Amino acid sequence: MTIWIRIISLIIGYAFGSIPTGYLYAKANGIDIRKHGSGNIGMTNTMRTLGVKAGVITLAGDFGKAIVAIAICMLLFYKQTGDWLPVVKLYAGLGAVLGHNFCPFLKFHGGKAIATSAAVMTMFAPFELPITVGLFLLIVIITHVVSIGSIVGVSTFVIQTVIFGLLGVFDQMPQEALIECYILTGIISVLGVIRHKDNIKRLIRGEEKKFTLGKKETAAKEEQHE
């Protein structure tokens, strides 16, 4: 697989990943989501600030933009790449994660790309998703802290990929391609953890907010009436 296919896939992924769904939805409702709650543009903060509908729309947008980017790259390069196609998916997916994390329309700030990373997992290895989603939901239900569930969930991407690789699930791929998949899923997982650095600090101090479904911040309502 050529370097140009890797670069083009990254660029396509980055272009779609840069669409700031939560920010755009909140802005359409007269709110700068970056000024409320955690300041994050992702699902949790939009849901906490604007309600369930906003959170679901943000989740769908952040998930869908990676799906579209990866699908486009698959259509463009499946004939040229053959057994290396999973690597193409991960380059497009990594691009989408980077676009979400470092959005050029928001001065290269962004979210944590957990929904986007889940979409990459779905397109790359959907059989990994049940364990990831199960752990995420279990942790959030027990702790009511989304950041812990997100950190554990995104970390399972590389862990599961390596385990399934050692078990021979990815035997259709050349060994060199599989190693590259380990590296790319590792980068996505590490990015997800790093983007939670402030949450980790708050968790250590015992100051991390707990998530309550359907609860909105009053500040959001105030801004709507300004």
Q: H/E/C letters for each residue in the chain?
A: CCHHHHHHHHHHHHHHHCCCHHHHHHHHCCCCHHHCCCCCCCHHHHHHHHCHHHHHHHHHHHHHHHHHHHHHHHHHHHHHHHHHHHHHHHHHHHHHHHHHHCEHHHCCECCCCHHHHHHHHHHHCHHHHHHHHHHHHHHHHHHCCHHHHHHHHHHHHHHHHHHHHHCCCCCCCCHHHHHHHHHHHHHHHHHHHHCCHHHHHHHHHCCCCCCCCCCCCHHHHHHHCC
* Comparison of pLDDT for 64 and 222, the residue scoring more: 64
What pTM was estimated for this model as a whole? 0.91
pLDDT of residue 210: 84
Please, what is the average pLDDT of the chain? 92
pLDDT of residue 222: 42
Residues 149-204 pLDDT 10s: 999 999 999 999 999 999 999 999 999 999 999 999 999 999 999 999 999 999 99
* Comparison of pLDDT for 90 and 211, the residue scoring more: 90
Q: Judge whether residue 219 has pLDDT over 50.
A: no
Lowest model confidence (mean pLDDT) among 20-24, 38-42, 66-70, 156-160:
38-42
Q: Judge whether residue 13 has pLDDT over 60.
A: yes
Residues 65-116 pLDDT 10s: 999 999 999 999 999 999 999 999 999 999 999 999 999 999 999 999 999 9
pLDDT of residue 44: 85
pLDDT of residue 159: 97
pLDDT of residue 87: 98
pLDDT of residue 225: 34
CA angle 111, 117, 119 (to 5 degrees): 120
